Amino acid sequence: MKAQGYTGTERSVYRYLETLKQAEVRASVNPARIRKYSANTAVWLFVRDPDTLDEVEREDLATFCQASATLKRAYSLIQDFLNMVHTREGERLDTWLTTITESDLAELQSFASGVEKDKAAVRAGLTWPINNGMVEGFVTK
């Protein structure tokens, strides 16, 4: 580009291309498709196992993630945490918490703050094969 006479900086080109990229993503999203979701329903879509979603739910989830880079990042972090829970990989907790702290997702940062307050118990729950579900059930009863 410089050989053809462009006098701007590489950063200017990057910013321009980033704007085009965002415009392209927004143009391909059908907002009416995701407006039908309440906040609670959308959250439920984010925390479910992707393998249990039907075709329409998968398309809607893809639309959410395509509509916003923030939502896509949040979905990825939520699914990573759920994977940690299901596979009992408590050793990854510190890395996950650091990633959340460095993100700009206030809601997940609030969740991570709560986890941080009782990290030893959370790590034990994510690592040990035993749980106190039976005891809690009797206490609640």
**Boundaries of every domain in the chain:** 9-67, 69-130
On the question of pLDDT at 52 being above 50, the answer is yes
Burial of 112 (0-12, 13-18, 19+ CB in 10 A): buried
Q: Which of 73, 76, 37 is nearest to 57 (CA)?
A: 37
Instruction: Give the C-alpha separation, 35 to 139, whole Å.
Output: 41
> Where does the pLDDT of residue 38 fall: very low under 50, low under 70, confident under 90, or very high at 90 and above?
confident
pTM: 0.68
The predicted model gives 42-47 an average pLDDT of: 89
pLDDT at 20: 60
| Nearest-angstrom CA–CA distance, 85 and 112 | 14
Question: pLDDT category, 4, cuts 50, 70, 90?
Answer: confident
Is the model more confident about 89 or about 35? 89
Q: Which amino acid is at 100?
A: I
